[in-house]
Amino acid sequence: GESVGLHLPTLSVQEGDNSIINCAYSNSASDYFIWYKQESGKGPQFIIDIRSNMDKRQGQRVTVLLNKTVKHLSLQIAATQPGDSAVYFCAESRPGTYKYIFGTGTRLKVLA
């Protein structure tokens, strides 16, 4: 499969524990943020998004937290499962541009 993230930071968690993946974004003008999950050899899969007028958003087993003061974004995965093993990366977007700025990613390894 695709050798994405050969030298990525790795987070190892026990199955059933909660995972927290962090991302520092670069531009204080960014108003939209997304988390993607990418499994080996596959395209990135949308997980959850949040706009800058919110500081927390919840999905199914996932929560995204946004701290605009320190330009920090986090993804929390509850009750981590083996199927959650993948590379996770964040993206930010600013008004008036088509471009996303992508983080380099974090590899999540779920230990049985």
Instruction: Verify binding: residue 103, another protein, rule CB under 8 A.
Output: yes
Tell the smallest beta-carbon distance from residue 1 to another protein (Å): 8
Residue number with CB closer to another protein (83 or 98): 98
What is the distance between the alpha carbons of residues 98 and 109, in angstroms, rounded to a whole number? 32
> Of 86, 90, 77, 84, which Cα lies nearest the Cα of 23?
90
Instruction: Verify binding: residue 13, another protein, rule CB under 8 A.
Output: no
Tell the smallest beta-carbon distance from residue 100 to another protein (Å): 6
Q: Are β-strands 62-67 and 72-77 bridged in parallel, bridged antiparallel, or unpaired?
A: antiparallel
For residues 17-54, one letter each, b for 16 or more C-beta atoms within 10 angstroms of the residue's C-beta and e for the rest, the string is: eebebebebeeeebbebbbbbbbeeeebeebbbbeeee
Instruction: Verify binding: residue 104, another protein, rule CB under 8 A.
Output: yes
Instruction: Verify binding: residue 95, another protein, rule CB under 8 A.
Output: yes
**Site map (CB under 8 A) of another protein, residues 28-57, x = contact:** ---xx-x-x----xxxxxx--x-x------
Binding residues for another protein, rule: CB under 8 A, are 2-8, 31-32, 34, 36, 41-46, 49, 51, 89, 91, 93-100, 102-105
